[in-house]
Amino acid sequence: MPIAFWPAHWSRLQRSNATLATALLLLVLVMAALGRLFSWLPEPIGSSAETFADGARTTLWLTLVSGGLGLVLGTATALARTSRWALLRWGARFYLWVIRGTPLLVQILFVYFALPLLVPGLRLPEFAAAVLALGLNAGAYNSEAIRAGLLAVPQGQTEAARALGLRRRHVFLDVVMPQAFKMALPPLVSNFVALLKDSSLAYAIGVVELTNVGNRLQSQTFQPIATLSTVALTYLVLTTLITQATQAIEYRFDIEDRAR
Amino acid sequence: MTAAPYIVIDRVCKSFGAQPVLRDVCTQFRSGEVSVIIGASGSGKSTLLRAINRLEPHDSGTITIAGVPVGPHEATLQQQRTDVGMVFQQFNLFGHMTVLDNLTLAPRRIHRTPRAQANAQAMALLRRVGLQEHAAKYPWQLSGGQQQRVAIARALAMNPKVMLFDEPTSALDPEMVQEVLDVMRELARAGMTMVVVTHEMGFAREVADRVLFFDQGRIAHEAPPAEFFGQPANERIRAFIGRMGG
């Protein structure tokens, strides 16, 4: 549902909300009806429709939860990197250095297999381990997107806010953050969509998500074209709906009407 | 001009790295007085202005506002900044907010003024600068001159006791300079204490109570405008006035 779909006299906010609501509603409907949709497909998909639907729901959950974690971690890390305290800056740099310098697959395996040995008692179930690893990974990349946004807000904005006598907190929350967030939004969306696809790596520790389901069926039925096409198509549907929602958010902040 | 000095600058020094920009600057700004600071770019006039509200902390010497030293203490500084309005060369309006929200942000956050009351006060200020019809617009929809008038209104929204102007017309197209100067003239007539860094010699002649000439980080000369422009104290000043078309 492109923005232009809505009546011309609607305000930016109304159009943005309408698109956002429609995209999210469609996402919920598609997820709920996925079992039925798959069951209409020919064999070997039709008979495994519910397994496929469960896999897709797991993929979406994995993405949403680790995406939320990644946004919180990313914001915290970006703030730490621009902090006045050297210790915070170093901590953030170290985190970024480790996460960006190692493969995501290794991180997932590490959290699942190695972490319980390093920290006794921290034996995470597959899903939680995948969320933690994906969230840590997304957080590192998000922090760079948010930091780029923070640095792109002109110095004059901070100066004007401080010159008015605003507290540091208000300078940041009212003046810097909204403008930084707007600039960070496109790369954040890219990261989120990448996360949706990267969540397929959770397959390595046995999370029964979409790719895992497809690959199992493929090896059982020896029909790679049908099964893997279904997997790919499902990812495409998910990413399409998610980008519609995020475009609506971008549109809301684009008060200069530049991204037409 | 018998009022007590409101801002006192005493032996203020400031360097950027090895480059001194303010050298032992001493002066006072009295309530109700309009002071115009002129001088070549890089002479330190903007730095002095920015040191008054500590956007640019000075290295040594003291600056006091109503007797209170300007220093690093955050709460004191915030209080002082509410008393000192500032207008920038590049306007620095908050681009993500409407004109009205630009004006109401500080009163709502600092004085916790209710939104309706803040809006009413902001509309009164916008009428004063002739922009009441543009309240719902965003800064990018306005001309440079209009943006600068909004910026003046935004600074006035905190009811400051003094207004600092840092080359307020230097970034404007020539045809927009007058509308900004008109607003500043009106402010001066209403008795606002003003410190104006500018290259507008006409404004200095007409509105200033005193003109300060900055040269290489020092106040090289100070005089009432009639004397300053009528009998330039030395060749350097005469040459500068000539170059500025004064």
Q: Can you tell me whether residue B24 is helix, strand or coil?
A: strand
Which of residues 58 through 77 in chain B touch A, CB cutoff 8 A?
A: 74
Mean pLDDT of the B218-238 span: 90
What pLDDT, on a 0 to 100 scale, did the predictor assign at position A19?
Answer: 84
Q: Do A165 and B81 touch (CB under 8 A)?
A: yes
Q: How confident is the model at residue B99 (pLDDT cuts 50, 70, 90)?
A: very high
**Cross-chain CB nearest to A165 (options B95, B110, B140):** B110
- What distance in Å separates the CA atoms of residue A163 and residue A156, rounded to the nearest whole number? 10
**Cross-chain CB nearest to B158 (options A165, A167, A170):** A165
Question: Is pLDDT of B33 > 80?
Answer: yes
Q: Which amino acid is at A29?
A: L
Question: Is B90 an interface residue toward A (CB < 8 Å)?
Answer: yes
Asked if residues B15 and B59 have their Cβ atoms less than 8 Å apart, the reply is yes
Asked if residues B205 and B246 have their Cβ atoms less than 8 Å apart, the reply is yes
Spell out which residues of chain B touch residue A168, defining contact as CB-CB under 8 Å: 74
- Number of CB atoms found within 10 A of residue A231's CB: 24
Nearest chain B Cα distance for residue A177, angstroms? 11
Return the ∠ at Cα A143 (arms to A140 and A149), rounded to 5°. Answer: 155
Question: Is B189 an interface residue toward A (CB < 8 Å)?
Answer: no
Q: How confident is the model at residue B1 (pLDDT cuts 50, 70, 90)?
A: very low
Question: Is B159 an interface residue toward A (CB < 8 Å)?
Answer: no
Question: Is A163 an interface residue toward B (CB < 8 Å)?
Answer: yes
Distances (CA, A) of B99 to B107, B130, B133, B186, B246: 14, 13, 10, 21, 35
Helices of type H across chain B: 45-52, 74-83, 99-110, 115-128, 144-156, 174-189, 201-207, 225-230, 235-243
* Phi, psi (rounded to 5 degrees) for A40: -80, -15
- What distance in Å separates the CA atoms of residue A188 and residue A139, rounded to the nearest whole number? 10
Q: Do A164 and B140 touch (CB under 8 A)?
A: no
B119-177 confidence digits (pLDDT tens): 999 999 999 999 999 999 999 999 999 999 999 999 999 999 999 999 999 999 988 99
Which helix (H) or strand (E) element contains residue A131? Answer: helix A126-152
Q: Are strands B34-39 and B193-197 parallel, antiparallel or unpaired?
A: parallel
Which helix (H) or strand (E) element contains residue B26? Answer: strand B19-30
Angle at which helices A177-198 and A224-253 cross, to 10°: 180
Higher pLDDT, B143 or A18: B143
- Among residues A164, A163, A165, A184, which one has the least CA distance to residue A82? A184
Question: Is pLDDT of A1 > 80?
Answer: no
Question: Is B88 an interface residue toward A (CB < 8 Å)?
Answer: yes
- What distance in Å separates the CA atoms of residue A50 and residue A41, rounded to the nearest whole number? 12
Angle at which helices A224-253 and A49-81 cross, to 10°: 40
- What distance in Å separates the CA atoms of residue A181 and residue A110, rounded to the nearest whole number? 32
Q: Can you tell me whether residue A111 is helix, strand or coil?
A: helix
Q: Do B90 and A156 touch (CB under 8 A)?
A: yes
Q: Do B96 and A168 touch (CB under 8 A)?
A: no
Question: Is pLDDT of A260 > 70?
Answer: no
- What distance in Å separates the CA atoms of residue B200 and residue A156, rounded to the nearest whole number? 23
Q: Which of A29-43, B25-39, B62-76 has the lowest mean pLDDT?
A: A29-43
Q: Is the C-alpha dihedral spanning B214, B218, B223, B228 positive or negative?
A: negative
What pLDDT, on a 0 to 100 scale, did the predictor assign at position A249?
Answer: 84
Question: Is pLDDT of A38 > 90?
Answer: no
The encoded tokens of residue B45 equal 């006039």
Mean pLDDT of the B10-22 span: 93
If you measure CA to CA, which chain A residue comes closest to B96?
A: A179
Asked if residues A245 and A2 have their Cβ atoms less than 8 Å apart, the reply is no
Mean pLDDT of the A185-197 span: 92
Asked if residues A126 and A165 have their Cβ atoms less than 8 Å apart, the reply is no
DSSP secondary structure string for all residues of A154-191: -HHHHHHHHHTT--HHHIIIIIIHHHHHHHHHHHHHHH
A122-165 confidence digits (pLDDT tens): 888 999 999 999 999 999 999 999 999 999 999 999 999 999 99
Q: How confident is the model at residue A246 (pLDDT cuts 50, 70, 90)?
A: confident
The encoded tokens of residue A227 equal 């099964």
Q: Can you tell me whether residue B183 is helix, strand or coil?
A: helix
3-state DSSP helix/strand/coil % of chain B, to nearest 5: 40, 25, 35
Q: What ipTM describes this predicted complex?
A: 0.92
B28 pairs with which residues across the strands?
B8
What does pLDDT average to over chain B? 93
- What distance in Å separates the CA atoms of residue A219 and residue B83, rounded to the nearest whole number? 75
Q: Do B78 and A178 touch (CB under 8 A)?
A: no
Question: Is A166 an interface residue toward B (CB < 8 Å)?
Answer: yes
Mean pLDDT of the A208-213 span: 87
Higher pLDDT, A4 or B14: B14
- What distance in Å separates the CA atoms of residue A188 and residue A194, rounded to the nearest whole number? 10
Output the pTM of the full model. 0.85
